[in-house]
Structure 1
């Protein structure tokens, strides 16, 4: 894994050199930055090493930056990535600026407790995500709107959450397979409901279910077992970070929930 991290670090460094002007570099940086963060958690399951936290911070910065560049009315968006101010040329809708990537970006900002980037993401028009050129299941847009309504304290939060739950039924799956819908996409939504209700017992029960389903999904076949994508349960981790912020005790310990990320152990160490 160390050798794989070294190779991937070279790839992300190459992507970052062209990030300001290249759409291809931005797409590569999205994928590569998150994979490095996951790889580091293979070697450091509790995320206690400085390099692991830096990798998660980088993934958050890259994911937020592409949306800042896609949504700005200016010629470029100024974004801090690895302690360097970078001017990303504005793009408007792009294939990689889709609702799925937006959800990942929001989750990463929750894990890193980055309120300024959460503010920016919450104000991204859903129409921009729909104009990316890809086709996605409708539930993802309802989930985006739910998270935006929550963060912006809109009155329609309950309606948006009900819509997200209804559209997330396995029988509603068109693009994503029913197993992925039920075991990966659905749990963060129900966890979020438990969080809103401040239901500590229900939250921990649902979190345990979410992690069990996450494991089942990522060991379902050989390709998934070998994929680094399942190393961390990003959605449940993000909602658990929200829960911790309102003093809901997290009683579940799991390598899918790196403890230092959940605890925000590196608070104040970096200017993100």
Structure 2
């Protein structure tokens, strides 16, 4: 490994950075939920709008997690499930061979037209959808996402660095039990070398950490995984606590480390890091199976 492996001392509790006091938070979240319903109705005639809906559902999930850091109450779980459903629907509509697809979102079966590739069918959205499906333990959705061709993610012309595509190929290979996984993971890690990437800060703080976590899972290195998880959460905190980002709901939960922690938990790894960035009920599968998703 390179200099990115410099470790932060293992800590069992990592507090979330301060967010501004949310006045009437429930009212604000209710307004966002109404916006989601309006957008979903429009998406039933223009499936590409699902990408915009995803952003709003993620804000709701982040807001819910500020109020309920452990995801111990149903509305928080429901918010994460809805975001997961929308993320998966973006790619279901993009890859269907039919003229429409039925997706369950927010407790309703909804019909969306096929879209093919569009601006939201990109590596960033795919990773978000994958991490959400992992956190919600949606095996069928994970498998469907892993059948999305990496070539499709390149088609819309978005300027994503190559390491995104290598990492996605690695995750698809991991989930599907494909060959060459080790080489692909090494290639993904090497592609994020801070000395070669254009913008090393988000890469070191957000992109690389889940790669290191997966590396430890594959090696069945439980102690190393604990250190990698600690590093990942600390780096997430450092990135999102910067004064230019500290109020953004995207920083409320460390979604990529959360997904890797869920994989590790299900493989029997002890999860010894406690943090508001890692909703404990999601890691522990507490809500899985409570209602049809």
Judge same fold: TM > 0.5, yes or no.
Answer: yes
- Is 1:225 aligned with 2:254? no
Deviations 1:79-136 (CA, angstroms, capped at 9, x unpaired):
1112222221111111011011001100000000001101100000001100123110
- Is 1:246 aligned with 2:270? no
Quick one: which of 194, 197, 215 aligns to 2:237?
Answer: 215
- Is 1:8 aligned with 2:32? yes
Write out aligned runs for 1:92-131 (5 A): 92-131=116-155
What is the number of residues matched between the two proteins?
A: 269
Quote the offset at 1:23 in angstroms.
4.4
Secondary structure of the structure 2 residue equivalent to 1:88 = strand
Is the 8 Å Cα contact of residues 109 and 118 (structure 1) preserved in structure 2? yes
Q: Which has the higher helix share?
A: 1
Write out aligned runs for 1:142-153 (5 A): 142-153=166-177
Is the 8 Å Cα contact of residues 47 and 113 (structure 2) preserved in structure 1? no
Write out aligned runs for 1:46-195 (5 A): 46-174=70-198, 177-195=199-217
TM-score (norm 2): 0.89
Unaligned 5+ segments in structure 2 are: 1-24
Quote the offset at 1:73 in angstroms.
1.1
Secondary structure of the structure 2 residue equivalent to 1:242 = helix
The root-mean-square deviation of aligned C-alpha atoms, in Å, is 1.1
User: Partners of 1:271 and 1:172 in 2: how far apart?
Assistant: 45
Tell me which residue corresponds to 1:199: 221
Secondary structure of the structure 2 residue equivalent to 1:87 = strand
Secondary structure of the structure 2 residue equivalent to 1:225 = coil
User: Partners of 1:267 and 1:127 in 2: how far apart?
Assistant: 33
User: Partners of 1:187 and 1:229 in 2: how far apart?
Assistant: 17
User: Partners of 1:132 and 1:234 in 2: how far apart?
Assistant: 25
Worse overlay, 44-53 or 16-25: 16-25
Tell me which residue corresponds to 2:8: none
Is the 8 Å Cα contact of residues 44 and 111 (structure 2) preserved in structure 1? yes
Worse overlay, 68-77 or 21-30: 21-30
User: Partners of 2:57 and 2:197 in 1: how far apart?
Assistant: 28
Which structure has the higher relative contact order (CA within 8 Å, separation 6+)? 2
Quick one: which of 214, 233, 256 aligns to 2:277?
Answer: 256
Is the 8 Å Cα contact of residues 111 and 238 (structure 1) preserved in structure 2? yes
User: Partners of 2:242 and 2:194 in 1: how far apart?
Assistant: 17
Is the 8 Å Cα contact of residues 94 and 133 (structure 1) preserved in structure 2? no
